[in-house]
Structure 1
Amino acid sequence: MTLRAQHVRPGDVFAALRGARTHGAEHAATALDAGARAVLTDEAGAAHPELLRHPAVSRGEVALLVHSDPRGVLGELAAEVYGRPADGLSVLGVTGTSGKTTTSYLIESALRSAGLVTGLIGTVETRLAGTRLESAFTTPEAPDLQALLAVMLEGGVTHVVMEVSSHALVLGRVAGLRFAVGGFTNLSSEHLDFHRDMADYFAAKAMLFDGRCAREVVCTDTEWGSRLVGPETVTVATQGTADWTATDVVTSTTGAQRFTVNAPDGARTEVELRLPGSFNIANALLATAMARAVGVEYADIANGLGEVDVPGRMERVALGQDFAAVVDYSHKPGAVGAVLEAARSQAAGKVIVVLGCGGDRDTAKRPVMGATAAQRADVLIVTDDNPRSEDPARIRAAVLEGTTRVAKSERAESHEIGDRRAAIVEAVRRAAGGDVVVVAGKGHETGQEVAGVVHPFSDRDELAAALRERLGSPQGTETVPAGRIPDNQRGSDEEAR
């Protein structure tokens, strides 16, 4: 079963759905020629000439499944087609604006530490019992998701950790799926090109907690999390009261963190985390509570959390320079603010950030991103991210407009360099001992989309190249786990502010 005509195999069900620009029925001939034996569509699709004129339809060889809301039933149908694989798995879903990927990695590591066979589905990658696959979507379309779960079940996986996006919830990608545990990280402005407003965005996230999760765990550090709390909800927080809290936090000058997790049953567990920033303590608490909800022991959780590094999330690139250089996926105001605050806590000198915004996406966040970065950095270099079909200069102008909302006395020194490679080189050129350079926005991505063409581009590789050029060294890149900065990369002031 598939939504993509080019992926149809003999005997498949082809879901011909209405899209933003075209109707899937326009590709019915391709699907039917490939051997599709049923088509799920709406009234418009069933009447589409591309479908009706095909010989297989006129001969009655194809079943037409017509529904007024085919996407609304696609998840349940896909689950049935693939034998409801989730019934044989413990599925743990994480939603929220920021922290889904990191929290998922933390949970999966805790599960593996307990000796469980795991699957992981998310933004960076999909993993099946340790085998890595590329990810196309944060949460795959329903047929792909159910097929993947079926393969995981056949491969001996017992527990699956997955990121659940607001798009996936609204578009029914996780319909027909029962979760053992659902978790919520936080909510901040994002995807307002898809959602009408923040209330609509929150309502989409809240769909994960509409009864489809056997247990619910929510971070209440923000008011949005507090709104999700019901009588049976388990809460975690780095501020205020909650079922799960963290105390005795000690942060090293490298950003590594040690703290005590306080459990609702009175247990106290010491945790060491490589990932810097208070937001990652919140992620670790959520991961801990979710792992405990499926029976993982405290010692296994602590061991698992302590081993986690997340690609493109506060990921350091070290070639022997005397300042920190970090690549991070932060591409929304809340995430940028949190990352720059974490960088500030480790910087003996300046915080220098390279930042852009994607095209064909939420335009309202662009000036907010600019203001957020200008408030928290010393030097801001505004550049291109993935401009896609938009004029890159207009995107940069919107980001720079946001910087003017910050009082001049509190505003970062701002520069505009459209070429992302040149912007990274300039950030490295400006860095001195004890500074922290943050290249934000693209994280683990390996391409940059400009005018419909995806060009090879890796922030990690470009940052490493800029460092090699500055150091005059041909040595290869060493990616250092966040929070583990070699001594020769630390600033002269070990008591970083």
Structure 2
Amino acid sequence: MLLSELIKDWPCTVLQGSIRQTIRGLSESSARIEKGYIFVVRKGRRLDGAEYMEEALENGANTIIIDRTNLDLSRIPTDVTVLVVPDSSLFISYASAKLSGYPGEELTIIAVTGTNGKTTVSHFIGQMLQTVGKSVAIIGTTGIYVNGKLYKTIEDSLTTMPAETLHPLLRECAERGVTHVILEASSLGLEGNRLAHCPIAIGILLNIGVDHYEEHGGKESYIRAKKRLFTLSKKMIVNEDDLLCFEIGKEMTVPPIYFGQNHINGEQQTLEIRIAGKHNEINARAACCALNALGYTIDEIQPLVSSLCLPAGRMQKQSQHGIDVYVDYAHTPDALQVVLAALHDEEKNILTVFGCGGERDRDKRPQMGAIAAQYSSHVIVTSDNPRSEEPAQIILDILCGTTGFSTPIDVFINRKYAIRYAIRKAQYGDIVLVAGKGHEQTQQIGNDILPFSDVEEVKHALNERNSDNDYS
């Protein structure tokens, strides 16, 4: 596409060069730039694209997009076009959609946001739509699934992928005959305009917790990011049992559709949901509400619910030696509490292994320590993804919340050893919960991203225990 065609409906100012450039693609990452690409300079939370302009030019960029006029452009060759736009992130979204031929308009797109439950609800909706004969793609934390099979993993494990990769993927989906796409919409993705030019038929607001307050600079900014989904969606579905969500729903000019523990679309509905945990019953109701909003009756939806199954890393169970081991992604206070409450209903001893991620909301650490100590018979505190923080300090923050509880607590900085210790310690009839990482296949320690899977480590630990018993 010619640059002149791409920008004809977008406000911009030409600082240098020709708008007759032929554009083959665009990116905000200099490493992904190829010959004939636009390099979009965007200032992020940690990095500034302005520092990578030379690398982008070396890789073949013929156009530079900026949204600031105070940048030094003296080293940009005169045959390279430079444009100023009001907002680089919005331009990326707009241009990506246009270069891909607006594929979202050929699809029915459902976007799910919330602190907890996005992945589960997305997969529940996908499973039910498949059962009624629709071709479905799910794009989110655990990867990209087409009709229930893993199609691709998501780069950098982003919950909501950047617009520059989302729209080409939507084009692939449309060409593969997909009719419905379910997206996980993170607060950071919404705030960063990743979905700004993605036509959303139905948006779903599940809940609002504390996990990302710090990343957004406070509670109000986090809530404001979530509210963006209302402006992008033709219809909104809101959890009436979450007070914050309910209050946000009342602010909207177009009233949302509500669901709750006993209600779907404002009417009391009894559904036979056979999934462990009250939180997953709520997740199933949210999914049912989405199908209802698509035009399916409750009578048509009810038979679909009985075959729902949880996605990878959500209450994923392995059992040996009379011990049940669950791996769950619960990495927020709310999520940990609902998972432990669900397991607590079984009236068995619970050994909980968990940690907290580095460079994330610090206030949640003692809260999660208290929740683990309250519901567990034994707590093993360990590392999650410490990133650049000192793992021992994160653990100390967690332990601050465990004071006042008589629950035995052990500490293993090494997560592998923590998992193996818990499974060795467990007795016949006990439950072990390994929480925090779920489906993840890596662990980030400092700048190193190392292979690590809770599911695989549990499997190894159970096999080790079996070997030990063979010689006992």
SS of the equivalent of 1:281 reads: helix
RMSD of aligned alpha carbons: 2.2
Quick one: which amino acid aligns to residue 434 of structure 1? G
SS in 1 for 2:380: strand
CA distance in 2 between counterparts of 1:334 and 1:293 reads: 27
Q: TM-score, normalised by structure 2?
A: 0.88
Residue 470 of structure 1 is matched in structure 2 by: 465
TM superposition shift of 1:244: 5.0
Work out whether 1:133 is the aligned partner of 2:158: no
Question: Of the candidates 186, 189, 206, which is equivalent to residue 207 of structure 2?
Answer: 186
Which letter maps to 1:356? G
Name the counterpart of 1:333: 333
Q: Percent identity?
A: 33
Q: 1:36 to 1:300 in 2, by over 3 A?
A: farther
The alignment covers a number of residue pairs equal to 438
Q: Is the 8 A contact 1:424 1:439 kept in 2?
A: yes
User: What is the deviation of 1:79?
Assistant: 1.8
**Which residue of the partner structure matches residue 353 of structure 1?**
352
Q: Give the drift of 1:474.
A: 11
After superposition, the C-alpha distances for 1:442-497 in whole angstroms (9 at most, x for unaligned) are: 1111111112111211111111111111122899xxxxxxxxxxxxxxxxxxxxxx
**2:192 maps to what in 1?**
171
Q: Distance in 1 between matches of 2:196 and 2:354?
A: 36
> Comparing 169-178 with 76-85, which one deviates more in the overlay?
76-85
How far apart in 2 are the matches of 1:192 and 1:138?
A: 17
Change (3 A) 1:241 1:85: closer
Provide the C-alpha distance between the structure 2 equivalents of 1:396 and 1:64, rounded to a whole number of angstroms.
Answer: 49
Residue aligned with 2:249, SS: coil
Q: In the superposition, relative to structure 1, how do residues 131 and 314 fare at CA in structure 2: closer, same or farther (>3 Å)?
A: closer
Matched letter for residue 157 of structure 1? V
Could you tell me which runs of 5 or more consecutive residues in structure 1 were left unpaired when the two chains were aligned. 247-259, 262-270, 476-497
1:242 CA drift (Å): 6.1
SS at match of 1:175: coil
1:310 matched to 2:335? The reply is no
Tell whether the 8 Å contact from 1:101 to 1:124 is kept in structure 2 after alignment: yes
Secondary structure of the corresponding residue to residue 472 of structure 1: helix
Conserved 8 A contact 2:143-2:150: no
Relative to structure 1, the CA distance from residue 239 to residue 293 in structure 2 (aligned partners, 3 Å threshold; closer, same or farther) is closer
Equivalent residues in 2 for 1:482-493, closer than 5 Å: none
Match of 2:443 among 442, 448, 451: 448
The separation in 2 between residues aligned to 1:304 and 1:340, in whole angstroms, is 24
Alpha-carbon distance in 2 for matches of 1:12, 1:245:
54
Q: Deviations over 1:351-391 (max 9, x none)?
A: 11001001111111111111111111111111111111111
Deviation at 1:340, TM superposition (A): 0.3
- Residue 13 of structure 1: aligned partner: 38
Distance in 2 (CA, whole Å) between partners of 1:294 and 1:316 is 33
Residue 73 of structure 1 and its aligned partner are, at CA, apart by 3.3
TM-score where L is the length of structure 1: 0.83
Letter in 1 for 2:279: F
Question: Which position in structure 2 is the counterpart of 1:402?
Answer: 401
Secondary structure of 1:145's partner? Answer: helix
Aligned residue in 2 for 1:147: 168
The answer to whether the Cα contact below 8 Å between 1:218 and 1:225 also exists between their aligned partners in 2 is yes
Aligned to 1:253: none
Deviations 1:24-74 (A, max 9, x none): 122223322333222222225x7335xx424xx32x2x2212124212333
Supply the distance in 1 between the matched residues of 2:262 and 2:289 (Cα, whole angstroms).
16
Q: Does 1:221 align with 2:241?
A: yes
For 1:424 and 1:245, how far apart are their aligned partners in 2?
43
Between the aligned partners of 2:57 and 2:305, the Cα distance in structure 1 is 48
Determine whether 1:97 maps to 2:92.
Answer: no
Matches of 2:201 and 2:244 in 1, distance apart? Answer: 22
Output the CA distance in 2 between the equivalents of 1:120 and 1:224: 27
Distance in 1 between residues matched to 2:358 and 2:176, nearest whole Å: 39
